[in-house]
Amino acid sequence: MKELYTIGNGFDIHHGLQTHYQVFSYYLQKHHFSIHERLVENYGLPSLDPDLEEFENKPAHYYLWSDFEKRLADFDFQSVLNDNDDLTANPASEEFRDGDWDTFEIVMEEVVNELTTELYDAFKKFINQVDFPENIYEKKISLNQDAFYLNFNYTNSLEHYYNIPGDKILHIHNRADSSNEVLVLGHGIEPNKFKRDEPQPSINATEEELFEWNMEQGRNWELSSDRALDMILTYFSKSHKQTDNVIQQNRPFFDMLDDTIKITVLGHSLGEVDQPYLREILEKNGFKADWRVSYYEPKDAQKIFATLVKLGLPKEKISTFKTTDLLLNK
């Protein structure tokens, strides 16, 4: 593999596809309102007015959605538990039934399902309803038909607009138009980072104080809320983007990178969530390739350059350019 293109969402946006996460937020408002409200209430994401798309200078909070995948790790699970603590089983109540031990846990399971399975299904439907503009004459860019393509997008824009053969493209996160493929989407924080806060006694506690502390912990422990906490914490593993598994599943592709001499990145911000793939590319390639990376604004170029240097790529191996520099019909 002599030449590799790495394709990100900016590539589709350049061609007029409305695939940015802000548009996904509008889609959720209209078609999956309860999921949208969860994201606003429990992740700190703003509720956006679709009319913002008409403004050139958008407010700062608009761009919080740009890091949607990264923000999936910001789930405020404690507030969800607090909002539902009335579901805690109360065996002293005359209305108590044995099934009440399960209620809190079941509701938390429904929340986790809504924020993983249902959210990802909604995202797949969103991608599949995106329109492909017909006339992109002025936006077509120069691509090498003989190169290989590592495509982070969920669309078939490379095939649709440039007739790139399917055997030249690895859809690393799968394709939305494939009914039997689950899209790879999620945050990049290891799930074991999200653990319950286990109370600890004072390191200077006497034997008597330690006994009293253990007795107090026993009095405060409650089965139904404990199970609810365990359930809500499963969210972080279910929403984790398991990049290591994806890399292993596509090992033959990455193993072909040892003789690559040119890598062109189009429309990919090289964000933190996808950096394990970049590290794998650099490790397999051994820094042989020259990297050309597109940017949208000058500040983006500086950030991209700094990211690659931080990952270990020598400065002399990096160059940046605007996507419009590759236009075929200027």
Residue 58 pLDDT class (50, 70, 90 cuts): confident
Q: Does residue 267 register a pLDDT over 60? A: yes
Q: Does residue 80 register a pLDDT over 90? A: yes
Report d(CA 158, CA 91) in Å as an integer: 61
Q: Does residue 206 register a pLDDT over 90? A: no
Q: Does residue 217 register a pLDDT over 70? A: no
Residue type, 140: K
% of the chain exceeding 70 in pLDDT = 94
**pLDDT recorded at residue 199:** 66
Report d(CA 254, CA 53) in Å as an integer: 38
Tell me the per-residue pLDDT of 119-134, one tens digit each, with 9 for 90 and over: 999 999 999 999 999 9
User: 155-164, 187-196, 289-298: which has the minimum mean pLDDT?
Assistant: 187-196
Report d(CA 311, CA 292) in Å as an integer: 15
Given a contact cutoff of 8 angstroms between Cβ atoms, the answer to whether 168 and 218 are in contact is no
Q: Does residue 251 register a pLDDT over 70? A: yes
Q: Does residue 111 register a pLDDT over 70? A: yes
Domain spans of the chain, in order of start: 1-19+132-188+242-329, 77-117+190-239
267: left (phi over 0), alpha (psi -120 to 50) or beta: left
Task: Look at the block and give the residue holding tokens 């397999």.
Answer: 284
Residue 102 pLDDT class (50, 70, 90 cuts): confident
Given a contact cutoff of 8 angstroms between Cβ atoms, the answer to whether 89 and 223 are in contact is yes
What is the fold, at CATH topology level, of the domain defined by 1-19+132-188+242-329? Rossmann fold (3.40.50)
Residue 246 pLDDT class (50, 70, 90 cuts): very high
pTM of the full predicted structure? 0.90
